[in-house]
Amino acid sequence: MSGSRRKFFQDATILGAGLLGLSESLQAGQQERVASSHHLRSGGRTELDVKNAYVPMVTPDVGDLPHEMDGAVKVFQLAAEPVKKRIAPFKTIDAWGYNGSCPGPTIQVQQGDRVRVIFENRLPESTTMHWHGLEIPVEQDGVPYISQKPIAPGEKYVYEFTVHQEGTFFYHAHSAMQEMMGLLGFFVAHPEKDYKPRADHDYGLILQEWAVLPSNTVPNTASMEFNWLTFNGVSAPMTTPLLARLGSRVRLRIVNLGMDHHPIHLHGHQFVLTGTEGGRAPESTWYPMNTVLVGVAQARVVEFEAKYPGAWMIHCHLPHHMMNSMMDLLRDRQIQTADQTEAKAMNQMMSLAKSVPFEHVHPSPVAANAESVPGFPQDAFMEMGMDEVVEKPETYGLPKNWSAGMMGMMTMVRVLPEKEYDAIMLRKKLPRSAAEEEHHHE
C-alpha cells in the first residue's frame, strides 16, 4: 500500500471513530447471518424445528424486496412499471422493471417458506409473472393463456406457493420482449440448513444486454446488436465493487436473461461451481475454474476463498461486452475509421466530459507516429477516468483513474485486509456530508 493510500484509510478510521464510536461501527455492514422468521418466532419449539440462520445475499445496485408476515406466510408486494434507469453516468434509458427498480428487487426466502406475492400491473400492456426454476403448482407458473389469464394494466393478481427447494432462482415476465425491457429479478431460496462450507459473503449479479440507439432512450428489444451490457442494471464503472475480507469465503450467484451467453471471468483466484439454477451441486462435482459460462436462463453459483488482497476484476470476457457504447459519444468514430486523429478524438472526449460532467479524461499515451499505423486507434482515447462521478464508499481507496480501466459487463471484488475492509464499512455508515468533507480534506 502506498503512503498516501495508507493515510487515506487511517483518516477514515479516525474520523469514523470520532463520529460513531469504534466498537459499534467496526463490525458494521459485514454480512451477518439472519435468523429465519421461524427461528425468531420459534417460542416453544425444539431445536430440531428451528431453521438455521443464513448469510443473506447482497445484490449490489439493486437491493431487496421487504416482506410482511401474515401468520406463517411471507407477503411481498411487487408492481411492474416503467423505470427511468441510469445505466451509465451519461446514459439513462426507459426500461421496465418492478417497484421502480430494474432489475427488480431481490426476493429472499428460506426453504420451506410459504410465499405470497401481491402483484400489480402498472405497465401499459398485459403481463404475467413466472417463477423460474421453482417447483410450484401449475396455476402459479405465470404463463399467459396456459396457466392463467394475462394480467391487464391496472389489475392485481396474487401468487402463492410453498418453496420446498433451495437455490438461486429468478422471477420474470413470461413475454420475450418484456424480458428484454428488464422485467426480471432474483428469487433466492436459502437452504433450511446452511451450506457447507459456509460463505462469509454472498453476492448476486444479474446479466442484461441492451440495444439503445444513439440519442435514443428506449431499448430496441428486437435487435441482435447490443451496445450496452450491464451487471445489476449498470455498466462499469458505475457497478458497485464487491467487498470481501481477506481470507473469507465468497459466494457469487450469477443469472442471465438476455440473448447471449456470457463467460464470466474472475481475476487472480480460482473458484468452484457449487450450484446451478437447479440448486446446490454435490461437493464431489466441484472442480477449479476461473471462468464460468452463464447461459441464457441459467443461474451459476461459484465460491472462492478470497486469498489475495487487491482489486480483482469480474467481467464477461466477450470483448464487445467489455465496452460501453461509444456511439453516443463518438458519432463518426468507428473502430476502422481511417481519418481519426488524436486531436479529433480528444475533442470528442472533452465534449463528453463536459456534458456528464466528469472531472477529466485520461487517455493513455500513444506513439508519435500512431496515426500512420494501420489499425490505429483501437482502445486509445476510449478510456475515461470518471472516478468522482461514480464515487461511493465501495470505491474508496482505489488508485486514481481506476474508472478508466472499467467498461461494460464488469465489476471487481476488492479483497481487503481487516483494517481496510473496516474503514470502508465505516464509511458506508457515515452521513454523506461527513464523507465528503473528509474527501476534500484529503
Report which of 348, 232, 347, 254 is spatially closest to residue 303, judged by C-alpha positions.
254
Q: In the complex, what is the shortest distance from the CB of residue 417 to Cu ion, in angstroms, rounded to a whole number?
A: 32
Q: In the complex, what is the shortest distance from the CB of residue 441 to Cu ion, in angstroms, rounded to a whole number?
A: 41
| DSSP 8-state symbol, 339 | T
Q: In the complex, what is the shortest distance from the CB of residue 4 to Cu ion, in angstroms, rounded to a whole number?
A: 36
251 interacts with Cu ion by CB under 5 A: no
**C-alpha distances in angstroms, 65 versus 161, 172, 376?**
17, 15, 48
Binding residues among 143-202 for Cu ion as defined by CB under 5 A: none
Q: In the complex, what is the shortest distance from the CB of residue 201 to Cu ion, in angstroms, rounded to a whole number?
A: 24
Q: Burial letters for 382-395: b for 16+ Cβ neighbours within 10 Å, e otherwise?
A: bbbbbbebbeebbb
Q: In the complex, what is the shortest distance from the CB of residue 385 to Cu ion, in angstroms, rounded to a whole number?
A: 24
315 interacts with Cu ion by CB under 5 A: no
Binding residues among 369-428 for Cu ion as defined by CB under 5 A: none
Q: Which stretch binds Cu ion (CB under 5 A): 85-93, 300-308, 320-328, 349-357?
A: 320-328
Which residue is associated with the grid cell 461527513? 434
Task: Give 40 or 293: the residue with its C-beta nearer to Cu ion.
Answer: 293
50 interacts with Cu ion by CB under 5 A: no
Task: Give 229 or 250: the residue with its C-beta nearer to Cu ion.
Answer: 229
Task: Give 244 or 322: the residue with its C-beta nearer to Cu ion.
Answer: 322
Q: Which stretch binds Cu ion (CB under 5 A): 45-53, 85-93, 198-206, 318-326?
A: 318-326
Instruction: Show the binding pattern over residues 266-305: x = contacts Cu ion (CB under 5 A), - = does not.
Output: ----------------------------------------
316 interacts with Cu ion by CB under 5 A: yes
Report which of 316, 340, 333, 324 is spatially closest to residue 384, judged by C-alpha positions.
324
Pairing of strands 242-245, 410-416: parallel
Report the amino acid identity of residue 213: L
Which residue is associated with the grid cell 403481463? 127
Question: In angstroms, rounded to a whole number, what is the distance separating the alpha carbons of residues 365 and 349?
Answer: 15
Q: Which stretch binds Cu ion (CB under 5 A): 11-19, 118-126, 255-263, 394-402?
A: 255-263
Question: In angstroms, rounded to a whole number, what is the distance separating the alpha carbons of residues 187 and 15?
Answer: 38
Task: Give 211 or 316: the residue with its C-beta nearer to Cu ion.
Answer: 316
Task: Determine phi and psi for 426, rounding to 5 degrees.
Answer: -65, -45
How many helices (H) and strands (E) are present in the chain, helices listed first?
Answer: 8, 21
Interface with Cu ion: number of residues (CB under 5 A): 4
321 interacts with Cu ion by CB under 5 A: yes
From the list 79, 273, 318, 434, which residue makes contact with Cu ion (rule: CB under 5 A)? 318
Question: In angstroms, rounded to a whole number, what is the distance separating the alpha carbons of residues 5 and 273?
Answer: 35
262 interacts with Cu ion by CB under 5 A: yes
**C-alpha distances in angstroms, 101 versus 61, 121, 183, 288?**
9, 14, 9, 35
Question: In angstroms, rounded to a whole number, what is the distance separating the alpha carbons of residues 180 and 152?
Answer: 20
Report the amino acid identity of residue 410: M
Q: Which stretch binds Cu ion (CB under 5 A): 12-20, 83-91, 235-243, 308-316?
A: 308-316
Q: In the complex, what is the shortest distance from the CB of residue 327 to Cu ion, in angstroms, rounded to a whole number?
A: 18
Binding region for Cu ion (CB under 5 A): 262, 316, 318, 321
